[in-house]
Amino acid sequence: MSYLFTSESVSEGHPDKVADQISDALIDHFLAFDAESKVACETLVTTGQVILAGEVKSKAYLDVQKIAREVINKIGYTKGEYMFDGSSCGVLSAIHEQSPDINQGVDRTAKEEQGAGDQGMMFGYATVETDNYMPLALDIAHALLIELATIRRENNEIKYLRPDAKSQVTLEYSDDNKPQRIDAIVISTQHDDFDEEQAMLAKIKADIISILIPRVKAKYPKYAHFFNDDIKYHINPTGKFVIGGPHGDTGLTGRKIIVDTYGGKGAHGGGAFSGKDPSKVDRSAAYATRHIAKNLVAAGLCDEVLVQVSYAIGVAQPMGIYVNTYGTAKVDLHDGEIAKKVEGIFNMTPYAIETRFKLRNPIYSETAAYGHFGRPNETVTKTFVGHDGSKLEREVELFTWEKLDYVDQVKAAFGL
């Protein structure tokens, strides 16, 4: 019996994602000027206002107002009519020093003994559904909004788009868990005001179907056959969507954790990522478990896998590793036996994770919209401006946890 599964995504202009991007821009600047910075930064955005709060231990001094404004303008909130723009919004900082009670559990004389920054459990997931080992529905939902943002910035084919948008993709699966086709697509996009609402709705729907969808199919040809003439489209289903962004809804850091991860596939430990330096295992260990899951699937061990790791605050060694292959394992081992072998391949102490993935580098702004996983691993040069106007250039490697650099070790360990 076939079944349906749905995932959603949100654009970089969604208020929660605005908050995530500001928080991660602050992380990047702190790490660029002081790699040992300890940061937990939360952002709230609402009509004409940004509020920054959190804990920091760093040698770097930042102009946090300037950084927040640059992020907002880059996203596209540049007009007063949006009731939230980077040049005129207020920015209030309530950032203070990190609690020494937390810090004493993390820092150690020997870095290798660094404790976890908090307790909790983190999950990583991978599947053969896509070339990047991500769930298909989420990957298409991201692709729709990435392309919609490109069209908005081009301001050519569609000229009325504003930054806030959401997408949702429903896939039909066969009874053997293979995606067959797209059953439904939902897109809600903020737009300029129109004189006639019905004409506006008709134009937006026509433009999405005739301009956006063909561009996505052309840019992602391996997904093209999932599109069909029977897709149910719901475009701006509530009608008018002029008031949006932080003026329409208050945004907070860390409220889109399913969009950030696997679209509802697998599991989630509950911890958000953005605004946290890599000593916080909510972030770093979630990256490490994704790396494990992806390398296991890429090595041919299984078609789908969920990996869990858990920690106690201040303790270096994890409480344990759990593996669920959903019955797709290609080796004659129980999942518990697979987990034991995984423990011997991947060092999951916080310090080992930080060093393996080069996490004390300014690599986080790129993660703060359109998901932290399934993104291309690449090296880029980034420029940071200090509070005194001095410039710092850094060459950094992005999405290191997406590398397939443990495939050979997995194959050797499991005799694949």
Could you tell me the two tokens for 128?
Answer: 């053969």
At residue 111, φ and ψ (nearest 5 deg) are -60, -30
Residue 249 labelled as part of a binding site: yes
Enter the DSSP assignment of 187: E
Q: How many Cα atoms sit within 13 Å of 156 on the Cβ side? A: 5
Amino acid of residue 181: R
Q: Annotation-wise, does 256 bind a ligand?
A: yes
304-311/232-235 β-pairing? unpaired
Smallest Cα–Cα separation from 288: which of 219, 352, 212, 233?
352
334 is in an annotated binding site: no
280 assigned binding-site residue: yes
- Binding residue per annotation — 339? no
**Does 329 appear as a known binding residue?**
no
Whether 399 has a binding-site annotation, put simply, is no
What letter represents residue 46's amino acid? T
C-alpha separations of 386 from 27, 35, 36, 206 in Å:
14, 14, 17, 46
Q: Which residues contact 195 (CB under 8 A, 6 or more apart)?
A: none
Any known ligand binding at 219?
Answer: no
146 φ/ψ sector (left φ>0, alpha ψ -120 to 50, else beta): alpha
Helix residue spans in 107-212 (DSSP H): 136-154, 197-207
Q: State yes or no: 382 annotated in a binding site.
A: no
276 is in an annotated binding site: yes
**55 assigned binding-site residue:** yes
């007009």: which residue's tokens? Answer: 79
Q: Is 247 annotated as a binding residue?
A: no
List the binding residues for Mg(2+): 16
Binding-site residue positions: 14, 16, 42, 55, 98, 164-166, 240-241, 249, 255-256, 272, 276, 280
| Binding-site residues from annotation for K(+) | 42
Binding-site members for L-methionine are: 55, 98, 249, 280
